Amino acid sequence: MTDEGGRQRAPLFDRNGVPAATATSVDVDTAIVLLGAGVTAITHPLLYVKLLIQVGHEPLAPTPGTTMFGRKVLYLPGFFSYVRHIVKVDGRRGLFRGLPPRLVSSAVSTVVRTKVKQVVPREDVEHVSNRDDLKTSLRKVVRETSHEMLVQCLSRIATHPFHVISVRCMAQFVGREVKYRGLFSCIVKIFQEEGVSGFFVGLVPHILGEVIFLWCCNLLAHFINTYAVDDNFSQAPAVRSYTKFVMGIAVSVLTYPFMLVADLMAINNCGLAAGLPPNLPIFRSWIHCWKHLSAQGQLFRGSSFFFRRVPIAKATVALD
């Protein structure tokens, strides 16, 4: 298509009659969904092992070893040992137990985020590094974080039912149950046994953890970039671009207990061995779960895949 001057002009519609702008937007959304699905599938074995460690399932005996200071300790199996055990029991396909609900969750999250950003667009946030403009800059950071929080909360609410289904499917490895299989049969079973509330167990600590993570990460990065990074420093833009990433790693460690509690609440008292005594006590609420883990010194259980040690008291008894 050309204009009056003979110049090429972009078509208003594609060959299917869909507006070109809409078609491009759909293509981008589809690409994001497919990319997210690929990343989810690749990382699923990692999260699967992490969940089994979170619920306290230790099918392999610890091995004796020594620290760099020469002290004798017992090391629990790491990620690769756990993977070999899963493959031995369930085969390679067993590493992807609970993946379908996570793929659906990833797709729903992408769609929800896109729609929310269209309905509630974020204001343009420009970087202000001058300390005289601190109030203005902080106000923009607060607006940006508030928008991110809204998007994250709505996305979490929409995807949490699939998270619950995925966690329960994976937790069946502990007791070798077959209660939760197909996605639709899981939805029906949870609704029949627990009602709508069954799809949202563990939602509160999950949202709290993500909200705290967002605010701490963004505010810490803002104050570090404002006060610690000098504008006269030639590499200041590069340093500022990595500040938020580094803060994200640090804050994620502090908010990990919220994620652990959310996952344990998702399986607690649902009929699976992993969520019932003696593996887990029946919790009255997520706060009860938090207090129990805190008393046991287990609030960070599953946060590491390598160099996992048996708690000192247990290791001392075993080594003696």
Percent of the chain with pLDDT over 90: 50
The model's confidence at residue 135, banded by pLDDT at 50, 70 and 90, is: low
pLDDT at 211 (0 to 100): 95
Q: Which two tokens stand for residue 257?
A: 């207990």
Residue 129 has pLDDT above 50, yes or no: no
For 257-287, how does the pLDDT look when each residue is reduced to its tens digit (9 = 90+)? 999 999 999 999 999 999 999 999 999 999 9
- Provide the domain count of the chain: 1
Neighbours of 64 (CB within 10 A): 12
Q: For residue 150, tell me if it sits in a domain.
A: yes
Q: For residue 177, tell me if it sits in a domain.
A: yes
Q: For residue 231, tell me if it sits in a domain.
A: yes
CA distances to 115, 206, 262 from 265, rounded to whole Å, are 29, 10, 5
Q: For residue 8, tell me if it sits in a domain.
A: no
Q: For residue 251, tell me if it sits in a domain.
A: yes
- CA-to-CA distance for 234 and 36, rounded, in angstroms? 36
Q: For residue 70, tell me if it sits in a domain.
A: yes
Report strand pairing: 63-66 vs 72-76: antiparallel
Q: Report the predicted TM-score, pTM, of the whole model to 2 decimal places.
A: 0.82
Q: For residue 86, tell me if it sits in a domain.
A: yes
User: What's 38's domain CATH number?
Assistant: 1.50.40.10
For 48-65, how does the pLDDT look when each residue is reduced to its tens digit (9 = 90+)? 999 999 998 988 888 887
Q: What residue numbers bound the domain in which 296 lies?
A: 23-316
Q: For residue 279, tell me if it sits in a domain.
A: yes
pLDDT at 318 (0 to 100): 44
What is the number of alpha carbons within 13 Å of residue 319 lying toward its C-beta?
Answer: 17
Q: Which helix (H) or strand (E) holds 72?
A: strand 72-76
